[in-house]
Amino acid sequence: MRKLQLDDLSKELGYSKTLISMVLNGKGNQYGISKKTQALVLDTAARLNYTPNKFAKSLRTGKSYFIGLIVSDISNPFYSTIAKRVESLLFESGYNLMVCSTDENEEREKLLVDMMVNQQGVDGLIISSVLQNAEFYEHARFSKTPMVFIDRVVPLHKANYVLIDNYGGALSLVNQLIKQNCKKIACFAITPLHLSTIEDRLNGYRKAIQNAGIQVDPALIRSIRFMSMTEDVEQELRAFMETKTIPDAIFVLNNHLAVVLLKLIKTKQYSVFENVKIACFDDIELFNIIDKPVTSLAQPMDAIGKVAVDKLMATLAGNQLTTSSEVLPTQLIER
Amino acid sequence: MRKLQLDDLSKELGYSKTLISMVLNGKGNQYGISKKTQALVLDTAARLNYTPNKFAKSLRTGKSYFIGLIVSDISNPFYSTIAKRVESLLFESGYNLMVCSTDENEEREKLLVDMMVNQQGVDGLIISSVLQNAEFYEHARFSKTPMVFIDRVVPLHKANYVLIDNYGGALSLVNQLIKQNCKKIACFAITPLHLSTIEDRLNGYRKAIQNAGIQVDPALIRSIRFMSMTEDVEQELRAFMETKTIPDAIFVLNNHLAVVLLKLIKTKQYSVFENVKIACFDDIELFNIIDKPVTSLAQPMDAIGKVAVDKLMATLAGNQLTTSSEVLPTQLIER
DNA sequence: GTGAAAGCGCTAACAG
DNA sequence: CTGTTAGCGCTTTCAC
């Protein structure tokens, strides 16, 4: 059973492929095709279950109706929640979603973007970028593909952004710890450290500490590698134990890291950290379930997805590709 | 800057498009092109950064190099972990991943499959299906697209499956509760109830209860709707409270449901369930962190992804499309 | 060893 | 209002 094509419809109806194509693409009125003819064409196409060949269509129009989503780790609930929302919104607009993870690897991000733009021909891209500078994205060969950057700012890169206030968020999280009388507040950052989110959160942390009249102690700021989180957190905890400087609170820079930390603290080996207060960027269900009160900052994943898709669709609909930044509100959840 | 195409290479090198295309597609030897010529073509293509136009290629060959992944909810860690693995494996083989969620909606699944196969022209499909019967998938128009079904069996459908032993898993989980002296073991199932996973788990539950010489009490088996989990769990808990028949254990049929249940039990409103033992299908990090010991059954997400991709790739490589079932081992985690 | 030419199925000038 | 026609960029048969 060969797939039905325009030619078959043409013979069936006695109209030319052109006319049928125009009607099917909603340009019937524009070309002044009579309502009656249009209805007939539409009905027949539906009845015979015609679907255009996407390859041919794409070859001709240069549009793929695919949107790429590039994040560090699609299994991170932060990103998978965004992905779910994005997919569902795109579907409504007739677009499909292609997802890839970079594992925080810069080369892989470049590879993926290049692949999506130059090989797959995606019509647009939503990216949480790990790159340290704008050079790559400023290359001419990407200038035609609309991109929306979410979550993270690529330094110096003028682009469409959908962000949250990482600095302010960190500030309120750490303030919360200070309000609970913590004096020695450690900070577990996550590499790569150059990420705008991480930088801003670190700055928020420092500012909050300073505001409280406490000296920022670099020894309290530890960085954990994305690819070896458990090992690194263990090492840092051990280091604290060895120097006998157990902090009274830890400010954790993302959900994944918090999970690893909480898991370790549960073991008797690290039980000395049991009473350490924790504040964490991102809110996850876990925090509603454990007894330990973890103050967190909920990011609006659904809204991030929505705004990103809206921006992309607006651009694809022909509106000028602007370079604005949307900063969405977060919610501090005190526990 | 127009994108480089075969014609440009042809002019640059003085060879025909045919020759270049053959070499670039690895058919140089087959057509007896001299090594030297091949090397020259390959080098030049790499140097000029040539990438073929995928639309044209697809139109010509009928292959999209896209694989579709359809699951109920891509934000569920079970599926997003599989997705991550699948994406990374496919990428190595030159394929890309398209992800969609059905929200357990049968019509949406049909729509998505149809879209992927008949409009997007994916080369293969990995599906965790919500359908109640095989009719849809037996339709001729799908017969050419290789599919691998994961996680759930579509009743009566002969196909490639990658599964785990849901019956056995439920059996050992409930046995674990019985070993802990539980007598009144409730079961929270999740709709749609017709899913093979749910059915098998329920049967395992019943069998374990019977093996222990306990009468299966239908009143203890409650079903929670996927789309209104919190409300339904609350309602069931309240129902138990009203009839004053607080179970001494609850067997929970998936991770998401466990999260909702644990969260509610934490609130004072439902504190009477505080000491209820819990065993849960799926293992999540949460269980390593909370104080309440939750026995769980870890599913091999990475292996599921790997086997599914292997099967698909084997089929695409020309091997006969067999209809075998792989049942992967799970791990009981006693807590 | 190599090239000419046909055509995958669609869209959009352009012509009437 | 409607149809003819020329490609989009690639692969592949066939011919030399």
Q: To the nearest whole angstrom, how far is the Cα of A198 from the nearest Cα of chain B?
A: 24
User: Residue A35, SS3?
Assistant: helix
Q: Is the CB of A17 under 7 A from strand D?
A: yes
pLDDT tens per residue, range A44-93: 888 888 889 999 999 999 899 999 999 999 999 999 999 999 999 999 99
**Domains of chain A, CATH where assigned:** 6-52 (1.10.260), 63-163+301-328 (3.40.50.2300), 166-298 (3.40.50.2300)
pLDDT tens per residue, range B317-335: 876 667 889 999 999 999 9
Closest-approach residue (CA) in chain B for A118: B51
Could you list the beta-strand ranges (E) of A199-293.
221-224, 249-252, 277-281
User: Can you read off the two tokens belonging to residue A86?
Assistant: 């994005």
pLDDT tens per residue, range B112-134: 999 999 888 899 999 999 999 99
DSSP codes joined into one string, B68-119 = EEEES-TTSHHHHHHHHHHHHHHHHTT-EEEEEE-TT-HHHHHHHHHIIIII
| Higher pLDDT among residues B235 and B10, named by residue | B235
The set of residues, in sequence order, having a beta carbon less than 8 Å from that of A79 and lying 6+ positions away, is A71, A72, A73, A128
Closest-approach residue (CA) in chain A for B112: A91
**Averaged pLDDT for residues A220-230:** 95
Residue A320 confidence (pLDDT) above 70: no
pLDDT tens per residue, range A85-121: 999 999 999 899 999 999 999 999 999 999 999 888 8
**Averaged pLDDT for residues A17-43:** 87
* Cross-chain residue pair A56–B59, CB shorter than 8 Å: yes
The set of residues, in sequence order, having a beta carbon less than 8 Å from that of B253 and lying 6+ positions away, is B187, B188, B189, B190, B197, B198, B201, B202, B280, B281
pLDDT tens per residue, range B168-183: 999 999 999 999 999 9
Question: Can you say how many angstroms the Cα of residue B296 is from the centroid of all Cα atoms in its chain?
Answer: 19
DSSP codes joined into one string, A304-323 = HHHHHHHHHHHHHTT-----
pLDDT category, B260, cuts 50, 70, 90? very high
Among A1, A267, A289, which would you mutate to test the B interface (most chain B Cβ atoms within 10 Å of its Cβ)?
A289
Beginning with the edge strand found earlier in the chain, give each strand of the sheet holding B147-150 in spatial order.
Answer: A325-328, A160-164, A147-150, A124-127, A66-71, A96-101, B96-101, B66-71, B124-127, B147-150, B160-164, B325-328
* Cross-chain residue pair A55–B58, CB shorter than 8 Å: yes
- Name the CA radius of gyration of chain A, rounded: 26
**Buried b / exposed e across B69-87, counting CB within 10 Å, b at 16+?**
bbbbbbbbbbbbbbbbbbb
* Cross-chain residue pair A120–B286, CB shorter than 8 Å: no
Closest-approach residue (CA) in chain A for B266: A289
A96, A97, A286 member nearest B286 (Cβ) = A286
**Averaged pLDDT for residues B280-307:** 96
Report the alpha-carbon distance of residue A176 to residue A184 in Å, rounded: 13
Residue A207 confidence (pLDDT) above 80: yes
* Cross-chain residue pair A97–B100, CB shorter than 8 Å: yes
Give the pLDDT score at B16.
87
pLDDT tens per residue, range A147-194: 999 999 998 788 999 999 999 999 999 999 999 999 999 999 998 989
pLDDT category, B233, cuts 50, 70, 90? very high
pLDDT tens per residue, range B57-92: 999 998 999 999 999 999 999 999 999 999 999 999
Q: Is the CB of A53 under 7 A from strand C?
A: yes
Q: Which of B18, B120, B6 is nearest to B65 (CA)?
A: B120
Burial of B11 (0-12, 13-18, 19+ CB in 10 A): exposed
pLDDT category, A28, cuts 50, 70, 90? confident
Q: Is the CB of A37 under 7 A from strand D?
A: yes
A14: left (phi over 0), alpha (psi -120 to 50) or beta: left
